[in-house]
Amino acid sequence: MEKRSTWKGMRTVGEIKRDGNIKAEVNPDHLYTTIQREEKVFQPLKIPQALQEALPYNLKPKTAAQDIDPTSGRVAVVLDHKERKVANLFKMLHELHGEKLSKMEEEKRRRMNKFSKLKTGEEERKLKKQKEARKQISRTINKNLLH
């Protein structure tokens, strides 16, 4: 009898490295690194003057209005004695109107509560009557069935 030899191919690189206890070298190009990018600084948009004049009013750039402080041109208003009295009277009228509205709301809420209680009472009475009617009908049906 002849011996058969089993075929064995070449060893792979991984097997050779494992047998020789050799570690794989890391390629630094294959590693993830954080990318440092500079912040982009854009130049301000410049529209030619001729084009600005040709634009309709609602599309014209309004850069001048943004730069102005809204409180810079204001003038302090000081009321004289008569104007102060008128302002106080208007304030009082406004407060009285508010109180009147709140009283009306309260009265409306009271009326609505009273009405809802009345309605629930009527509903209860109606349900009671219906229940009594059903009982009466059941009694008469039972009497007729028994006789």
Mapped onto helix, strand or coil, the DSSP state of residue 77 is coil
pLDDT at position 1 over 60: no
Of 69, 70, 68, 50, residue with least CA distance to 60: 50
Mapped onto helix, strand or coil, the DSSP state of residue 66 is helix
Distance CA 101, CA 112 (A): 16
Task: Give 123 or 58, the one with higher predicted confidence.
Answer: 123
Average pLDDT over residues 37-49: 89
Convert the pLDDT of each residue in 56-98 to its tens digit. 988 888 766 555 666 777 888 889 999 999 999 999 999 999 9
pLDDT at 64: 60
pLDDT at 128: 96
pLDDT at position 143 over 90: no
Q: What is the pTM of this model?
A: 0.37
pLDDT at position 112 over 90: yes
Number of helices followed by number of strands (H, E) in the chain: 4, 0
105 token code pair: 């709301």
Q: Which strand (E) or helix (H) includes residue 21?
A: none
pLDDT at position 45 over 90: no
Of 95, 91, 73, 75, residue with least CA distance to 83: 91
Query: Domain boundaries in the chain?
Result: 81-147
Residues 6+ positions from 146 with CB-CB distance below 8 Å: none
